[in-house]
Structure 1
């Protein structure tokens, strides 16, 4: 991963145990949302591309079992903590970062794009969600231009021929920054592929961010988010789908905590 420009303490590394003594290291490149947003603007104004992933426990579970996902993460220039457990692990390791959810980056990125006149593109979700989200953001941020909206078909393969066709369409668009709303691991695998072919563009994975803005999904109330219980809010809304996922996430916590503490003690921190 490329170095970042922050003058803060060295970037922490999230160590993901893979079993049999192996591990996969994910460098958390930006400790705060403000640091990341400033870097996005600098890169875009300089014509430099990037790919930004927002890691959470579900990603950790997928990283443990998918070599393709690990390869995609290793190709990203920026990674931030999208989940309180990731923040807690950074504190255990002695190099804390703050929470930077991908879905909460959409509004400030839109504001930056409007201010600088930088066209952006949407990729993922549905045609309806893309249209509603584009209209809402352009109304809230005068001067913002959503230059291109692409909704791939259901079952989209981020490593297949359709992905190459979408990247070719992106190449003809004036959009310099693309918000990817495919969900993990598709959006990260696609971002790595697109960045390789379009090195002057930026790619930001935002998960359900477009559906939130379109009103097709609802975020947990602020007090629930403040209590770090948004996972419970989501689980009760979709138990059949999310209870197994969160059980796998919970099972990953002890290994992550042990790896974080080991990193702290190796550096000799109290």
Structure 2
């Protein structure tokens, strides 16, 4: 299934619900397709606008999903509404469920060592059907050993939580090592580990997850400024 797309500041977002997207990913897994997923929020769109090399890189992805209410609001303002947010965290969790049921091989790269240790513990406890092929925290200088390990283990799902633009650059450089679903998951490992709390459903339903995160982490203020700047540019 080829999804139609909606262009927001020259970034083509898939026009699909989370369920439709997951159904497509299941087909991709079944047919051993190599897929590169970018989960893009307003920060990433603005970064791509200012960094042509990064923009070119993410335009080469198979799927760009609207991870952020700002993208949905922008599509509505452009009179081409996207159906809903398709977040990196929710997609990763749904894929972990699939991996657990289907005994898929999963590889994890990213986050702080203590975060990755907690993530591994949770996966081994909550998802006994997953074959955890390997994992490494995001604090590496040379990734040759990690890449060689991925090539040897041939996982079907690779999650990179290195933050943008590094995670997308790393995925693009290593896509050829195994036929897998490759996805940049940003700070999702922090949430999965339990060390960072995700906004309660009440805040998510009000589309105020970003504000909840700001209240919990006031140091994010500078990053939060991306949202009003993004919407101002869309209105222009």
Fold agreement, TM-score > 0.5: yes
1:179 maps onto 2:179 in alignment: no
* Aligned-partner Cα distance in 2 for 1:69–1:217: 28
Q: Distance between the aligned counterparts of 1:257 and 1:144, measured in 2?
A: 45
Point out where structure 2 has 5 or more consecutive residues left out of the alignment.
Answer: none
For 1:68, the equivalent position in structure 2 comes to 53
Scaled by the length of structure 1, what TM-score is found?
Answer: 0.80
Contact 1:104 1:209 in 2 (8 A): no
Q: Match for residue 221 of structure 1?
A: 200
- Specify whether residues 128 and 244 from structure 1 end up closer, same or farther in structure 2 by C-alpha distance, changes over 3 A only: closer
Over 3 Å counting, the alpha-carbon distance change for 1:167 and 1:222 in structure 2 is: same
CA contact (8 A) 2:116 2:193 kept: yes
Cα distance in structure 1, aligned partners of 2:198 and 2:37: 22
User: Alpha-carbon deviation of 1:249?
Assistant: 3.0
Deviation at 1:30, TM superposition (A): 4.6
Structure with the greater alpha carbon radius of gyration: 1
Number of paired residues? 235
In structure 2, the partner of 1:5 is 2
Partner Cα separation in structure 2 for residue 199 and residue 77 of structure 1? 16
Structure 1 residue 193: Cα displacement = 1.6
Q: Tell me if 1:122 matches 2:102.
A: no
Match of 1:113 among 81, 93, 99: 99
1:32 counterpart residue number: 17
The Cα shift of 1:150 comes to: 1.6
Structure 2 equivalent of residue 264 of structure 1: none
Instruction: Extract unaligned runs of 5+ from structure 1.
Output: 17-24, 157-161, 259-270
Cα distance between partner residues in 2 of 1:233 and 1:96: 23
3-state SS of paired residue (1:122): strand
For residues 256-267 of structure 1, the aligned pairs below 5 Å read 256-258=234-236
Partner of 2:64: 79
Q: Distance in 1 between matches of 2:121 and 2:81?
A: 40
Task: Show the counterpart of 1:191.
Answer: 171
Match of 1:265 in 2: none
Of 212, 223, 231, which aligns to 1:253? Answer: 231
Quote the RMSD (CA, aligned, Å). Answer: 1.9
* TM-score normalized by the length of structure 2: 0.90
Find the counterpart in structure 2 of residue 231 from structure 1: 210
